[in-house]
């Protein structure tokens, strides 16, 4: 089974998580006065000064429960997942019914490679915070990465039920359907994601890319090229989308444009293995066997461990 085309790596997932963990959805109790400076820095996303302010607050009051929570939050945002999990765990010892703290702990565990524990914590977070669409979304991401597609499908459907305008929710729902070989449903989900994306100020390239790849896989090369061009309009230097666009153009017998795309990409990135492979396939179709052989060999060299 292939991984999610979006978020296949921990680094990509971290970016999504850091952007989407909203301050307003965190513990909503009014903090004691000693925490006010930290809260100001957190709202400004000034993580360094927020952490320092929280340290001072805990020096003054070591049993400050809210300080433990916010310290775990700040440490997560700065990528210190081990320490974040320790503070979240300490907080949960005294407040086990906090869905937000369990969400942070679950995401810490995922980033630390402990996906089973991550899933367990997010399941608890979902039970404690039944209206939190983010928990269902993150849970679906983790379940997909763990190759549990039926569970991921249910999680993404639940996330969308709570947030019907979620571009990311429909995009990942489409990928889950695709993983289950439900290609018609996958295409419908990607199209819904695109419909919603067109209404957003901050646009996503992913549903266009995913629908383009699916269209190419289904033999609809011209449709694929159109969707991939849109993806590249949103992210012009995206090499993976460029390779896929070249593949779509090659399938549509638009050899000249396809070759130009790949030549330009390899000029900028001579070690792009997939570009060499795609160019080799294109050159075979263009009846240039010697050139094709050179690129196949270069692809093989680059793919060696």
Residue 165 pLDDT > 50: yes
pLDDT category at 63 given cuts 50, 70, 90 is confident
What confidence score (pLDDT) does residue 11 get?
A: 44
- 10 Å CB burial of residue 287 (0-12, 13-18, 19+) is exposed
Mean pLDDT computed over every residue of the chain: 91
pLDDT tens digits along 11-49: 445 444 544 454 434 444 444 557 999 999 999 999 999
Fold of 226-305: 1.25.40
DSSP 24: G
pLDDT tens digits along 239-256: 999 999 999 999 999 999
CB-based contact 50:42 (threshold 8 Å): yes
Residue 192 pLDDT > 60: yes
pLDDT tens digits along 208-236: 999 999 999 999 999 999 999 999 999 99
Domain ranges of the chain: 226-305
What confidence score (pLDDT) does residue 62 get?
A: 80
Neighbouring CB atoms inside 10 A of 299's CB total 19
**DSSP calls for 229-262:** HHHHHHSTT-HHHHHHHHHHHHHTT-HHHHHHHH
pLDDT tens digits along 202-215: 899 999 999 999 99
């Amino acid at each position: 089974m292939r991984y999610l085309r979006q978020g296949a790596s921990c680094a990509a997932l971290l970016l999504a998580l850091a952007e989407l963990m909203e301050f307003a959805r965190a513990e909503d109790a009014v903090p004691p006065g000693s925490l006010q400076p930290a809260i100001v820095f957190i709202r400004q996303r000034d993580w360094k000064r927020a952490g320092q302010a929280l340290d001072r607050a805990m020096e003054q009051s070591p049993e400050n429960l809210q300080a433990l929570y916010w310290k775990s939050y700040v440490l997560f945002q700065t990528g210190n997942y081990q320490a974040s999990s320790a503070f979240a765990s300490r907080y949960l010892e005294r407040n086990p019914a906090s869905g937000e703290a369990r969400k942070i702990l679950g995401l810490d565990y995922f980033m630390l490679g402990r996906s089973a524990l991550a899933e367990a914590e997010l399941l608890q977070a979902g039970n404690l915070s039944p209206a939190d669409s983010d928990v269902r979304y993150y849970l679906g991401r983790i379940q997909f990465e763990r190759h549990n597609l039926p569970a991921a499908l249910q999680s993404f459907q639940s996330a969308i039920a709570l947030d019907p305008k979620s571009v990311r929710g429909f995009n990942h729902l489409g990928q889950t359907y695709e993983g289950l070989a439900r290609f018609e449903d996958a295409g419908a989900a990607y199209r819904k994601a695109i419909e919603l994306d067109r209404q957003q100020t901050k646009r996503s390239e992913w549903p266009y890319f995913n629908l383009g790849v699916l269209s190419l896989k289904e033999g609809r090369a011209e449709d694929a090229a159109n969707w991939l061009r849109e993806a590249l309009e949103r992210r012009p230097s995206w090499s993976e989308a460029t390779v896929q666009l070249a593949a779509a153009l090659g399938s549509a017998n638009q050899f000249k444009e396809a070759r130009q795309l790949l030549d330009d990409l390899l000029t900028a990135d001579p070690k792009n293995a997939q570009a060499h492979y795609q160019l080799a396939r294109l050159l075979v179709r263009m009846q240039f066997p010697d050139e094709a052989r050179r690129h196949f060999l270069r692809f093989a060299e680059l793919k060696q461990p």
